[in-house]
Every structure is written in C-alpha cells, then in structure tokens.
Amino acid sequence: MEADKLRVLLIDDHTVVRAGFRMLLASQDYIGSIVDIDRGELATKEYQRFQPHVVVMDLSMPGIGGLETIRRLCKCYPEALILVYSIHDEKIYVERALEAGAKGYVTKNSAAEVLAEAVTKIASGKAYIEKGLLPVNNEIRIKEPKKTPHKLNALSPREFDVFRLLSKGLNAHNVANELSLSYKTICNYNTQIKAKLNASTSAELANIAMVHNII
C-alpha cells in the first residue's frame, strides 16, 4: 500500500539530475510518492506540505545553497532526515553537511544501490556515509561531528559557498551568476570572508582552500 511506502523530497537545481534520481528511487518497491523541487528556498514550505520521510538533496545550488537549506530545514523541523548527494567527495564538505544537520552523505558518482541503501538506512533512523568519505566510524562522526578547521568554521554556509568559488579563481561576476546573487552582494561577501580568514588577496584565499583540500 502507498501509505506504507517512503515519501521522498528531492532537491536539485538540475532538471536532468532530478529526473534521473526520481527514476532510480521510483524503481525501488519501498519508495512511494516523490516530490522534486529546484531550489532550497522552497524546501521548508514543501516539507511542511508534503511531510517526507527522507529529504535527498544536492549541496551546490543557486540561491541560499545546500548547506543553508539543511540548516533552515533542521531549525524548522528538527526531525527532518536529510541525505546529501553531491559531486564533492572532500572530507570538509561531508563535515559541513553533518554539522548543518544532515544524517547522511553520498556522492553523485556512487552506484545506484548505494543511494537506495542510504535512503532506507536514514529512513530507519540510522546514519549513512558512503564508504571512503570519512576515515572514522560514521555513527560517531554524526553524533559528534568534528568541527571544520577553525578559520573555515568561522564562515557561514553561504560565505563558505562563495569562498569555495572564489578560491577556484572565479571573479565576483562569475560567482554572482553561479549563485544567482547580485554582484554587490558577492563583493560584500568577499570582504567579509577575507576579514574572517585574515586574507587580503584572492591568491591567499586559494592557498587556504588548497591547505584544507577544497581545491
């Protein structure tokens, strides 16, 4: 019966990706209704309306971004069970997602059965981190996630998104387009980020990112 199956809220800004994951999830007998949305700004409202068992979402999205979406969902709905699936496999992204409130993390290049297993584990109240993403026991890391390096931990979720793009060499206009924010807003973030990280140039931002394996 449909009532016995899992309801999944899927959040990703790419239509093709949403369609692919919707097909993958729908092929599982235990998955019932699936609702997909294209940005984090809609997440809390859709969560309230749909009441999903599991939220499956990307991290790299325009607007408020994935980390801030997780934070807002968990603030409004502490019971939310969130699984991140992301192109990023660096440890710092996993840690930031867990600190924001996610209960699991898998990469987009993982096998289909990995995502399916992750959804079932998280729906049952357990944690799930794809093998190899973290060097220690997943359960311990999720209960008491290690804080990211102190400098980067000073950044808000959105500042971290901006920092990541700037450190890759994107200019303010490129970052503004990527995150669907204004040029002026990105310039303000740039100033705040440099102040928090005690950096004065883009090269110093890139160096910090390299030291912490972000680029």
Looking at domain 150-211, its CATH architecture is Orthogonal Bundle (1.10)
Q: Taking Cα atoms as reference points, which of 44, 52, 58 lies closest to residue 9?
A: 52
Q: In the structure, what pLDDT confidence band is assigned to residue 144 with cuts at 50, 70 and 90? A: very low
CA 139 to chain centre: 19
pTM of the model: 0.77
- Residues 182, 176: Cα–Cα separation, whole Å: 6
What are the structural domain ranges in the chain? 2-143, 150-211
Residue 30 φ then ψ, to 5°? -85, 0
Region 141-159: mean pLDDT is: 67
pLDDT of residue 213: 74
Q: What is the pLDDT of residue 135?
A: 67
Q: Which CATH architecture has domain 2-143?
A: 3-Layer(aba) Sandwich (3.40)
Nearby residues of 214 by Cβ (< 8 Å), 6 or more positions away: 90, 92, 164, 167
Burial class (CB in 10 A: 0-12, 13-18, 19+), 42: middle
Two structure tokens written together for 85: 């699936």
Predicted local distance difference test score (pLDDT) of residue 53: 96
The letter for the amino acid at 210 is M
